[in-house]
Chain A
């Protein structure tokens, strides 16, 4: 349910709930995911992984594996012709471990064989002798000076402070807490998969892969293969969800290496268990935070110490850390701050990007604090948040001024205006009652709770990264062809791009060319950035083509091109009677333009954490209503009310899908999803043991989209992918606290946290 109005038009322009062009293929099983790809004479690839979190490799013996019929290749670190390591920000992760393994699941060997079962048998026949070392699995321990450094780059991936304002200020009201968050998995449905086809003579590789960022993959693969960039050609294989987990390399280099090694096409596809080992996760974090405030609840100063466990390799940990510390104030005014943040290397599984990227952790801490502050000051959860709500023009603790539209108070009040759900009916179906069909919950043990969460999220990349996207538009005979490398992971750029072209150019027929590396980079589908960045690039390219079209029409008909506009599907003279359809005007003529959209530059933080490190911000509020069986510790989320600052709604149905989907993931983190680690080993790398929200766990979602167009954004629209999953987690936690009276400083909240 949402307030977004459907634009009444028969044309699928911006603002309409235009339908996805890939919809028919996806509902009928015809859409080609990367795991569906095949090639003649292809082999299957598979990876041998470390069973130990920290160990020295003494020897690797694959003589028995080679004797298995059907095994065509076995490769190790020695077979990597180029760079032996890769990584998104720092190149610190070995393609194959050769001396030391630093986490459970680290790749050591890859094999190619005629059947997945042959691969499995070959891996089982490989003998690796290890000298097992004592793993460092506690981030705080890893930081101690006497602790063994588990990697040549050290145990500290990045340290950053934010020091601003009065460092001695003591508030009349002081509240503090230490909050923890477990490791969440992105758990996309479409497992990692790729098909690599070698060029004859080993000159290069054609790859079809499910990724978030084709050009970054290309760069990293080329470096490891020691081949020029243009010899590694990537085409997007259909992507079954991503949520951050496909930003890092997983099987790409292994698959390309096996293809070159065997001179045959290689298909690799992870199992679910291997997927848990094979991609990065959301950082577990421990956050201590103290708020100083006036008696009326006005925040005066924040002190915080944030520790993010990055696992064995750096991935994007340093950027996650910057996001965490720069968002610890939440969407609230604050002038004085002392924040210390650490991203730490341990022998836990590597962590990197996941929807919300460091802000999820910060938000859980600051929102838990806001409720403590409310109690200390005698305010309601809504009042304390309204008292402190940030507005456009406020200065962040980094010194950056919030130039974005910042309707924080409106997000809160509009969420508050949403009707509460009906009380649990005395004759409710067992499946609607907490505990479910087992009929385990007794009505008198069920307590309803309400909780709040509000968040701020940066959009696009930060910290001085030159973030851009490229798109090409061709118009001929009334048909537009769009070319870009923007990855569709399900978010809907595949429909947004044609909507933009139709709006700008007055055409109806838009063809999207293959998404590959035969054009400039679009950057990653992450950081809520593609509507803004690739949307800006498509918009820019279409506008350039429109200008060319107007010049052409103006010349032919002797009209000043500046007088021409697009009206519906026609080129029209604003000051005269002239009118020609875009189809007719472009018949037999080709207009082609390429556009790169760059957002404004950002800065690195200085030693005191000062600098304009972010581009723009989006805001959202969530109110959660839960039923808790206080005796059994079971929770059912009944309703999530939300008002989200979206700038402008470009496709109401797609926007609502992002909001509802993000809420489900935040719900998962609040009450069910955690990779349970036991001394570095995952105890639940399967969908049987890693619990995901099902249809019966999905709450009623009531969403309001707040439309205040963002002046900086090319289309007026802010990214909407990440905010929905950020403050819903603390809202649910707060609702459970409200129902139980428990402190609950850690998510996910487990039954034993509530009832023991």
Chain B
């Protein structure tokens, strides 16, 4: 077992999770994926450059690879797994599928979380606002074209539902 371990609580997707015997140096991403059974957030750069690990922490989109898990004990954390009840898809998720925004899919959870965060704060983003909002999420497969389409579709669907 690693030295310098701790027991602490994290609040993720509305539930309390006890993290036991965890090395204090673990990132939030590692704890979500390896200890809490929430592997939807992905790790691809460990430097906050690619956005694959994006989660919402107290209303802010953050790279969970850059957050020490043990410092997140008082935060409300939302991950890709917590966007909808099991089996349901959000407008953004649905649009990613129908518009061809998914290829390998590794960047997708981070992008979905980043776009949900954008649309929760800006119901009618301009094209350039969309691009800026997701410029911290790298996708290597799509060239972003179908992802832009997916966001536009999701915006329209959300608007129609209002």
A and B interact physically: yes
**CB-CB under 8 A for A695 and B2, given A490-B141, A657-B103, A687-B45:** no
Closest beta carbon of chain B to A115's beta carbon, Å: 5
Given A28-B80, A698-B145: A117 touches B2 (CB 8 Å cut-off): yes
Residues in chain A near residue B108, CB distance under 8 A: 26-27
Whose C-beta in chain A lies nearest to the C-beta of B33? A36
Across the interface, do A701 and B80 meet the contact criterion of CB distance under 8 Å? no
Are B138 and A694 neighbours in the complex by a CB distance under 8 Å?
A: yes
Q: A241–B99 Cα gap in the complex (Å)?
A: 19
Q: Is the interface of A mostly helix, strand, loop or mixed?
A: loop
8 interchain pairs, CB-CB under 8 A: A28-B89, A36-B33, A189-B104, A272-B46, A432-B128, A662-B143, A694-B136, A698-B148
Task: State whether A23 touches B146 (Cβ < 8 A).
Answer: no
**Set of chain A residues within 8 Å of B59, measured between Cβ atoms:** none
B15 at the interface (CB under 8 A from A): no
Q: What is the chain A residue whose CB lies nearest that of B34?
A: A38
Contacts of B44 in A (CB 8 A): 189-191, 240, 272, 687
A696-B145 Cα distance, complex, nearest whole Å: 11
The size class of the interface chain B forms with chain A is 35 or more
Main secondary structure of the interface of B (DSSP, over half): loop
Residues of B within 8 A of A27 (CB): 89, 93-94, 96-97, 102, 105, 108-109, 112
1/0 contact trace for A27-58 toward B, CB 8 Å?
11111110110000000000000000000000
List chain A positions with a Cβ less than 8 A from chain B.
Answer: 17, 19-20, 22-33, 35-36, 69-70, 114-118, 186-191, 238-243, 271-272, 429, 431-432, 437, 489-492, 653-654, 656-657, 660-665, 686-688, 692-696, 698, 701
Give CA–CA (A239, B80) in the complex, Å.
19
Apart from A17-B100, A189-B52, list 10 A-B contacts with CB within 8 A. A26-B109, A27-B108, A29-B41, A116-B30, A117-B23, A187-B140, A242-B104, A657-B143, A660-B143, A660-B144
User: In the assembly, what is the distance between CA of A283 and CA of B109, in Å?
Assistant: 32
Interface centre among B33, B49, B98, B100, by most A CB within 10 Å?
A: B100
Quick one: CB contact mask for B15-40 with A, threshold 8 Å, 1 for yes?
A: 00000000101100010010000111
Complex alpha-carbon distance, A213 and B86, angstroms: 34
Do residues A664 and B80 form an inter-chain contact, with CB atoms below 8 A?
A: no
Instruction: Across the A-B interface, give the 4 residue pairs with the lowest CB-CB distance, nearest first.
Output: A29-B40, A490-B104, A26-B105, A240-B106
Please, which residue of chain B has its CB at the minimum distance from the CB of A69? B1
Cα(A717)–Cα(B98), bound, Å:
23
In the complex, what's the smallest C-beta–C-beta distance from B81 to chain A, in angstroms?
Answer: 6
- The residue among B39, B138, B141 with the most chain A CB atoms within 10 A of its own CB is B141
Contacts of A191 in B (CB 8 A): 43-44
CA distance A189 to B45 in the complex (A): 8
Complex partner residue of B106 from A33, A660, A701, CB under 8 angstroms: A33
Task: Specify which chain B residues have a CB less than 8 angstroms from the CB of A186 in the assembled complex.
Answer: 140
Known: A189-B139, A490-B141. A657 touches B100 (CB 8 A): yes
Task: From known contacts A660-B144, A696-B132, infer whether A30 and B40 are also in contact, taking CB-CB under 8 Å.
Answer: yes
Residues of B with C-beta under 8 A to A242: 104
Complex-state Cα separation, A116 to B35, whole angstroms: 13
A692 vs chain B, min Cβ distance (A): 5
Contacting residues, chain B, for A190 (C-beta < 8 A)? 42, 44, 104, 106
- Rounded to whole angstroms, the CA-CA distance of A692 and B107 in the bound complex is 14
Q: Which residues of A have CB within 8 Å of B23? A: 115, 117
CA distance A24 to B139 in the complex (A): 18
With beta carbons under 8 angstroms apart, the residue of A30, A33, A661 that contacts B142 is A661
> Given A27-B108, A432-B128, A660-B144, A653–B100 Cβ distance below 8 Å?
yes
Min CB distance A493 to B, Å, is 11
B147 is an interface residue with CB less than 8 A from chain A: yes
